[in-house]
């Protein structure tokens, strides 16, 4: 009787999946093999792709080895010049211009290891892109394709003649022929598309695949002349109270004020919950903070209910929270739909470390809201320009900064840096600080603040880049509108463009995400 054959020893599994950081080294080595005369990917490019649009980055894993990959982003193609270059359409390979609300998937690279060609690897990657376009209800896939055999025919043919011959299958081109066979049609030919593509003499064919399942009756984006977002930032008075209920009444009052102005966001200051210590007898700062953390669940429940009740997104200042024996300074986003997010303070001041033993977090988060993407950077964090740049590269349009400073010098550090971040990153920034005195709370006896809302500095924004600001050191609020559509246009065609004009060729930020 013959032995049963174990087929598992013959299996070689092929998987199409999204790229993860562990794949970067293999992809970089593969790019050197696939495009030996061109600049290969660098880790900073691939990390940016995965951070910004992870679902658009695919690889093929065969028997545990990466043998193919492709990268893409979403754009509104109509917003780009007909004769755009690869650098323009990809923001020099970093895809920070990716637009989730766009209509077109733009493919910026496909490669298959030479040893595994003729195995339909490229076709599988293209099918993954098509499935993604259908899933995201995108209108089309657009690619700027190389014509790597053109150099062989350049003396006797123009680029257009060469493309026509390849399209009619009279000449074989490994890229263009493949694209035609995969259902892509010609839009035009772009000169000077990819600087180091010498084989194509820097020409590229702009090709498009139309998604016949696209549903125009369910638009991804309503184009508007404006996209206003109203913000109420609260200059909160730190005064003695006798119970948590007193604290809740004060917080609800300000939330009600924000809602009465039909605000989209109400912004509270950093560690304003220290007001609760005014009715606790503990005088040691480190022990008092441990007592304060006991109110965490009450604080979260209070602001969750306020956000839903008053239909306003609340940046809940920040609060000291104990997690696994450590104390963190955490800012919470309470969305008006009842969901909650949080951002840990990353940079801890010497004062926080000395008196309270606070630990720092390790992630820069960007949060989706019904008014676009936002980030929260607590007080000292806004003084580190790398954090704002990372947040904006992840899509943030507004950076909220709850802060707490005891003197004018400390306040001005926060303010000047907040305004600098607005200019450097073409983003709105918002400050909310504490004022008043807590005479019986150690290390929180005096406060200095002038809360405000700031914009980039250009013709389309408020004069001096100040949307609105409070009077210094009084209990009050300021209400202001910021316009995300104006911000979007400014990033496209402002007097200057700090985001687009960055020199990625000589510097970059390496975000070591944990």
- 110 by Cβ neighbours in 10 Å (0-12 / 13-18 / 19+) ranks as buried
Pairing of strands 14-18, 358-359: unpaired
Indicate the helix (H) or strand (E) that contains 140: strand 140-146
> What does the DSSP 8-state code read for residue 384?
-
Please provide residue 443's backbone torsions phi and psi, each rounded to the nearest 5 degrees: 70, 10
Pairing of strands 358-359, 104-112: unpaired
> What does the DSSP 8-state code read for residue 471?
P
Q: At a CB cut-off of 8 Å and minimum separation 6, what does 152 contact?
A: none
Quickly count helices (H) and strands (E) in the chain. Answer: 13, 21
Among the listed residues 421, 420, 378, the one whose alpha carbon sits nearest the alpha carbon of residue 400? 378
List the structure tokens of 470. Answer: 């409070």
List the structure tokens of 156. Answer: 């006797």
Rounded CA gap, 99 and 90, in Å? Answer: 11
Rounded CA gap, 99 and 80, in Å? Answer: 13
User: Looking at beta carbons, which pairs linking 298-305 to residues 24 or more positions away fall under 8 Å?
Assistant: 298/244, 299/273, 300/332, 300/340, 302/248, 302/251, 303/251, 303/332, 303/334, 304/334, 304/338, 304/340
Rounded CA gap, 341 and 314, in Å? Answer: 11
Rounded CA gap, 404 and 270, in Å? Answer: 5
> What does the DSSP 8-state code read for residue 50?
H
Among the listed residues 374, 361, 365, the one whose alpha carbon sits nearest the alpha carbon of residue 324? 361
Rounded CA gap, 149 and 156, in Å? Answer: 13
Which are the catalytic amino acids? 270, 345, 379
Q: At a CB cut-off of 8 Å and minimum separation 6, what does 323 contact?
A: none
């Amino acid at each position: 009787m013959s032995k049963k054959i174990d087929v598992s020893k013959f299996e070689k599994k092929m998987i199409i999946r999204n790229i993860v950081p562990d794949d970067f080294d293999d992809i970089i080595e593969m790019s050197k093999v696939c495009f030996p005369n061109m600049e290969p990917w660098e880790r900073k490019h691939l990390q940016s792709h995965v951070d910004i649009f992870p679902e658009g980055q695919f690889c093929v894993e065969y028997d545990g080895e990466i043998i193919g990959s492709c990268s893409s982003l979403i754009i509104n193609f109509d917003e780009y010049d007909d004769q755009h270059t690869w650098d323009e359409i990809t923001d020099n390979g970093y895809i920070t211009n990716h637009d989730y609300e766009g209509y077109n998937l733009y493919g910026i690279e496909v490669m298959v290891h030479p040893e595994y060609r003729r195995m339909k690897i490229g076709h599988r990657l293209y099918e993954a892109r098509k499935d993604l376009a259908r899933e995201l209800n995108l209108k089309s896939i657009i690619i700027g394709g190389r014509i790597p055999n053109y150099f062989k025919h350049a003396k006797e043919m123009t680029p257009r003649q060469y493309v026509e011959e390849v399209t009619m299958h009279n000449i074989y081109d490994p890229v263009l022929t493949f694209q035609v066979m995969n259902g892509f049609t010609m839009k035009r030919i772009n000169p000077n598309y990819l600087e180091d593509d010498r084989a194509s003499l820097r020409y590229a064919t702009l090709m498009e695949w139309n998604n016949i399942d696209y549903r125009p009756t369910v638009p991804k984006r309503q184009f508007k002349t404006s996209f206003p977002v109203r913000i109420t930032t609260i200059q909160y008075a730190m005064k003695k109270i006798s119970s948590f209920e007193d604290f809740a009444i004060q917080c609800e009052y300000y939330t009600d004020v924000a809602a009465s102005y039909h605000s989209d966001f109400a912004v509270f200051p950093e560690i304003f919950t220290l007001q609760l210590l005014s009715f606790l007898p503990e005088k040691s700062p480190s022990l008092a903070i441990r007592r304060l953390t006991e109110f965490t669940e009450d604080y979260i429940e209070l602001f969750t209910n306020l956000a839903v009740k008053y239909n306003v997104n609340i940046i809940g200042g920040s609060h000291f929270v104990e997690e696994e024996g450590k104390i963190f300074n955490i800012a919470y986003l309470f969305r008006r739909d009842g969901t909650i997010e949080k951002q840990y303070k990353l940079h801890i001041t010497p004062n926080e470390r000395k008196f309270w033993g606070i630990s720092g977090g390790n992630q820069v988060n960007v949060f989706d809201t019904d008014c676009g993407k936002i980030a929260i950077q607590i007080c000292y964090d806004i003084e580190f320009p790398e954090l704002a740049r990372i947040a904006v590269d992840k899509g943030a349009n507004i950076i909220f900064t709850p802060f707490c400073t005891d003197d004018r010098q400390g306040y001005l550090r926060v303010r000047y840096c907040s305004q600098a971040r607005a200019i450097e990153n073409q983003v709105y920034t918002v400050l909310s600080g504490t004022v008043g005195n807590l005479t019986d709370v150690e290390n929180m006896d005096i406060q200095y603040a002038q809360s405000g809302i700031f914009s980039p500095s250009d013709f389309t924004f408020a004069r001096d880049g100040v949307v609105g600001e409070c009077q210094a050191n009084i209990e009050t609020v300021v209400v202001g509108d910021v316009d995300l559509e104006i911000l979007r246009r400014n990033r496209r065609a402002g007097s200057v463009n700090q985001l687009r004009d960055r020199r990625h060729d000589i510097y970059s930020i390496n975000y070591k995400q944990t």
